Copies of this chain bind each other. A is one copy, B any other.
Amino acid sequence: MGKITGYEKEHELPQKVRQLYTAVLELMAEGIDVNTIKVSDITQKAGIGKGTAYDYFDTKEDIIICALIYAVSGMISRIKEVLSRYHTFREQIEQLFAAVEKEMLERECFMRFVHMMTDSSFCGKALQQRAALDKHRECNAMLLLTEMVEAGQKRGEVVEHLPLEYIVYSLMSKLLTYLAVCDKNEEGGSKAQRLKPYILEGVFAEFCR
């Protein structure tokens, strides 16, 4: 049987694979370190046999990486979908922060994803290789931001005297800062709520005409 690549469409996913992905993501949401996740943890939580995981994946790493790609792709698609309903840069930025903040599970996963992208862990290395091949793929958050900014510039909402590169990195960095604050503050995100308007205002002040 052909193994899972991580690029399957939502509806192509075998049921067991969905269960595996869910299990991985839940484990991450519970704060378990990627490096200490055991195959038996995953399959047990997924409610399937250990051998079954290996019918679909070659290694433990594959399972985890594909689960992450799945989660991040899904998150980005959903955010894209939300953003497509808004037509100004300011609204889009606001919605972006709101969307990213909304789902606990995805947020956790996204943080993990970002970590791994800048990480030298076993999964990190593999993920980065994937990402290098995937510049054009759904799981590329930078691309999403780039498109948003370019569209904003076309509409005349976003300044043009700053390099696109800088604006995108800057946005990403602010978004991650915000996520980090959300993450740190588990008692309800009050610090995040306090800082959010300033972060947004900083973005608008610097990048909007």
What residue of chain B has the Cβ atom nearest to residue A195's Cβ? B166
Q: With an 8 A cutoff between CB atoms, is A122 at the interface?
A: yes
Measured between alpha carbons, how far is A162 from B183 in the docked complex, in Å?
22
Measured between alpha carbons, how far is A120 from B162 in the docked complex, in Å?
36
Asked whether A124 lies within 8 Å of B33 as measured between CB atoms, the reply is yes
In the assembled complex, the CB of A155 is this many whole angstroms from the nearest CB of chain B, namely: 22
A175-209 residues at the B interface, CB under 8 angstroms:
176-177, 180-181, 183, 191, 194-195, 198-199, 202, 205-206
- Number of identical protomers: 4
Q: With an 8 A cutoff between CB atoms, is A104 at the interface?
A: no
- A162 to chain B: which residues have CB within 8 Å? 198
In the assembled complex, the CB of A185 is this many whole angstroms from the nearest CB of chain B, namely: 11
What residue of chain B has the Cβ atom nearest to residue A201's Cβ? B162
Asked whether A194 lies within 8 Å of B122 as measured between CB atoms, the reply is no
Of A121, A181, A183, A199, chain B has the most CB atoms within 10 Å of the CB of A121
Asked whether A195 lies within 8 Å of B176 as measured between CB atoms, the reply is no
Of A35, A176, A183, chain B has the most CB atoms within 10 Å of the CB of A35
- A180 to chain B: which residues have CB within 8 Å? 118, 169
Asked whether B121 lies within 8 Å of A35 as measured between CB atoms, the reply is yes
- A111 to chain B: which residues have CB within 8 Å? 118
Shortest beta-carbon contacts, A-B, top 7? A173-B177, A35-B35, A166-B198, A33-B121, A173-B173, A33-B120, A166-B195
Interface CB pairs A-B, < 8 A, 17: A28-B120, A32-B120, A34-B121, A35-B121, A35-B122, A36-B121, A111-B118, A115-B115, A118-B180, A163-B195, A163-B198, A165-B191, A165-B194, A166-B198, A166-B202, A173-B174, A202-B206
